Chain A
Amino acid sequence: MMQDILSAAGPQAERIEALWWLFVLVCGVVFVAILAALAWALWRTPRADPATLPDTSVLGRRQRGAEFAVAGAVALSTIGLVALAVASFVTDRAIASIGAPDIQIDVTANRWWWDIRYDHQDKSKIFTTANELHIPVGKPVLLRLRASDVIHSFWVPNLGGKKDMIPGRQSTITLQADKPGTYRGQCAEFCGAQHAKMALVVVADENFEEWAQAQRQPAPAPSGAQEKRGHDLFVNGPCAMCHAIQGTLAHGRRAPDLTHFSSRQTLAAGTLPNSLGHLAGWILDPHSIKPGVNMPPNPMSPDDLHALLAYLGTLK
């Protein structure tokens, strides 16, 4: 998965990348020029020591050459800065004037995971997922950003700049991915113990509509005996206190919605790949993986664990 400012995958990140190279060019020239002026001074001036008499004669006369050089350098610097400022404004406008989005998604940051709700005019088509954001390719999407606890910051470098998520406020950001693929984002504002393990997977999905249609379905009813036992453990046990699975009695809202949990690539907000072994370890003792996380340890018998894992595996 990529998390790189200089591998733009959307129009906004591309514009920023172009601006970056312009700045690198101009600043590089300035850097080389200043060091060259310094090197010239080191190379051409005679050496001295503390006994060398100071040349106070310079106080009595105009030093036109040096004055001209300094004034010219200041003027050139000013022109360069104005040019960079204008380029920056132009880029800023271009990023802001991206097309009107027709998909709106509410992203709420929590310590330390992302709640993602796909809005729709038809309320029956609204659905919720977590930690994995799917967007269509080549279309702008509008994200409405909120935070439930402390300040977080939404940032997917390959697609564009970041936006803070501030409790008590709503902000918006428009994203567009032109290349299908999977991009990684990460919380960019320090938010406490597990700020380091608060990542987000963004999938620019060519089959976005099919994916969304699948996500709108409730979880399938468990079929086998083991899956049934796992379902009962989930719904009657502590899991349902915080997690929701649509189509069951589990409606907790304090933790990620798990309706289509098995379709996701990662566990615990990008902390681990979503595999059976990692999931078992996570359920039994999340604090050994992500110390400070809200999920409590869940000691259980191997049989119960296998049943639970089997059930969670059906949540495609």
Chain B
Amino acid sequence: VNPLLEKTWRDPPGLIGALSALDHKTIGKRYIVTAFAFFAGAGLMAALMRIQLSRPENTFIGPDLYNQLFSTHGTVMMFLFAVPVMQGMAVYLVPLMIGARSVAFPRMNAFAYWIYLFGGLFIFTSLLLDMGPDAGWFSYVPLSGPEYTPGKRTDVWAQTITFSELSGLFAAIVIVATTLKMRAPGMTLARMPLFVWAMLVTSFMILVAMPSVMLASTALILDRLVSTHFFNPAEGGDAILWQHLFWFFGHPEVYFIFIPGLAFMSAIIPVFSRRPIFGYPAIVMSLIATGFLSFGLWVHHMFAAHLPELGKSFFTAASMLIAIPTAMQIFCWIATMWTGRLDLRTPMLYMLAFFFILVLGGLTGIMVASVPLDLQLHDTYFVVAHLHYVLIGGAVFPLFGAWYYWFPKITGRMMSERLGRAQFWLFFIGFNVAFYPMHHLGLQGMPRRVYTYTDEMGWGRLNLLSSVGAFTIALSMVLFVIAVVAALRRGAMAPANPWGAGTLEWATASPPGSYNFDKQPVVRGRDPLWESEPVPASEPTHVTGLAEHTREALITTVLDAIPDHRSVFVNPSIWPFLTAVSVAIMFLGSIFTPWAVVWGALPVAVGATLWFWPRRAETDEHLAIEKRP
């Protein structure tokens, strides 16, 4: 423990201090906890829907509430859980994995979190006020337009999207800059952990995809608020335009939820196979290929719309092609396990579940990539089953594995192996009981998004089974909370490297001090902690020469991580929080009047200006440690 470094890098105490916090670990933890809270909220909505559908012609909830519930469930899960929780994991772990003291742009990182939190509170509060979105999570126009959903429900949806886009874009910029410029000396791109590679690809995808939905949701809110006609066919607008803009974002979104799942797989499987990963270059190329290909698939959500046949064939081919990089990674992981020695603890169980669930979901994905099959299966429960197999199998199971894996690092406590296994099996069985029958319901003609069905359709028994599965999942989540609370209270203290892993986050204490590393490491291989060859005496083992009384960090080059220059990082500040509050007020006001954008921009401008206002004392301090070259 280095008291001087601790004093330099720690967040200030008290409430103001908490609101000013910049430590990437604090922000990352806040992201993860908030995202899991939203996950629980949206899961509760799913439970209500499953009660309603558990028998034919049930009257537990009516169509108005049901439609709000499924729309809000989808919106929260996609925009406020799946994307931010992965960004939160990245914000926490990336600097530790690359041997850095902080993320790049720490104030922007804090700002992104606050915007995300406010966006989530906004949509949950709206639902409680009977103002929840009710046009589905992709809000097709004209249903979501001013004529067919009067009231504020769709405006709430559109502004929730704006919140999460803003936050997602900022967090992506933070992760890209951190990854490319702050890696420990010696950590060339070819030695970067696969987790970091995956998060880099994800962040670039977010930067390219999110502006598309930002354009769409802005045009939608303009249609609703100031009567533009972007999507109104009667005035020369176009209903299909929305679908193109939305899915040009929406399909990459599925992949930037899924790629972090792959990141967890590639981080955890080698550790529990006790060997470095097989096929590192192939996996990196696969991640990049997936990133690019995912932008060429969006039309497969629109096969039933009125589009040219030849164009659809192209998207069929592209949708099948993207299975290859994923298959490549799956084969590399199996090869890693084949040639390793396996440690089957809870995190690894979650990895193994991926092979069952995600592979099944991927195969049904190949089915819906085929135009003729999709024309039958599209918008049925088959697709509901497919998307839950892909997203829960591909992202949520790896995420839970990641939780068990990094929990000791983040909290300093071990989770119970016994509770972990029980929770895993409940989740795994409950998941399959809940979602497998939906494939058959889809084949039997049950469309998605129906609040009820008649007895004569014969869908009652499978729906009841599915609801039983859903409550098994709920039970496993209760057990999960119990396991977490038990670990926090009485869990065994975690050593620095409880799993015998090879990446840098395990080189520091559990939990790490505010400054991450006593001595910033110099890296010589892909798994620095597994290096067995002694370091030649002429070469450095760690970074020296940086100021410790101020937040000085080493900036390295993009490709080879050669030390480039020193940079002094900003101190904690309340202004990112206050700016986020004023942005939230502006967004909130804009669902009622366009003038909110005009007047609401003033406090935002003031906040952002004070955020960047230089302090004389800090500047003097920085000048004092400057050296002329």
Contacts and interface: CB of A to CB of B under 8 A. Distances in A.
B421 interface: no
A169 B306 contact: yes
- Of the candidates A46, A48, A53, the one having the most CB atoms from chain B within 10 angstroms of its own CB is A48
Nearest to A27: B363
How many A residues are at the interface, by size bracket? 35 or more
Contact of A19 (B313, B363, B370): B370
A63 B306 CA distance: 50
Contacts, number: 272
Contacts of A48: 272-274, 340-343
B239 A166 contact: yes
Contact of B359 (A34, A42, A192): A34
A63 B335 CA distance: 10
B94 to A, nearest CB: 22
Contacts of A54: 274-276, 500, 502, 527, 530
A150 interface: yes
A157 interface: yes
Nearest to B457: A3
Contact of B320 (A47, A51, A81, A162): A81
A150 B445 contact: no
A3 B380 CA distance: 12
B63 A77 contact: no
A259 interface: no
A55 B274 contact: yes
B309 A31 contact: no
Nearest to B278: A66
Given A151-B140, A189-B140, A166 B240 contact: yes
Interface in B26-78: 62-64, 67
A70 B331 contact: yes
**Residue of A40, A59, A166, A194 ringed by the most chain B CB atoms within 10 A:** A166
B287 to A, nearest CB: 15
Interface in B332-363: 332, 334-335, 337-344, 352, 355-356, 359-360, 363
Given A35-B355, A163-B304, A45 B363 contact: no
Contacts of B378: 162, 188
B309 A96 contact: yes
A53 B274 contact: yes
Contacts of B366: 23, 27, 81, 84
B527 A70 contact: no
B349 to A, nearest CB: 11
B377 A34 contact: no
A171 B306 CA distance: 6
A166 B306 contact: yes
A166 to B, nearest CB: 5
B67 A47 contact: no
Contact of A52 (B240, B274, B373): B274
Interface stretch (A87-95, A206-214, A215-223, A248-256): A87-95
10 contacts: A4-B445, A6-B443, A19-B373, A37-B334, A47-B342, A50-B343, A56-B527, A169-B239, A186-B445, A188-B447
Interface of B: 62-64, 67, 135-136, 140, 142-143, 147-149, 233-234, 238-240, 272-276, 278-279, 282, 304-306, 309, 312-313, 316-317, 320-321, 323-324, 327-328, 330-332, 334-335, 337-344, 352, 355-356, 359-360, 363-364, 366-367, 369-380, 442-445, 447-453, 456-457, 497-500, 502, 525, 527, 530-532
Interface of A: 1, 3-6, 13, 15-16, 19-20, 23, 27, 30-31, 34-35, 37-38, 40-42, 44-56, 58-59, 63, 66-67, 69-70, 73-74, 77-78, 81, 84-85, 87-89, 91-92, 95-96, 111, 149-151, 153, 155, 157, 160-164, 166-169, 171, 184, 186-197, 291-292
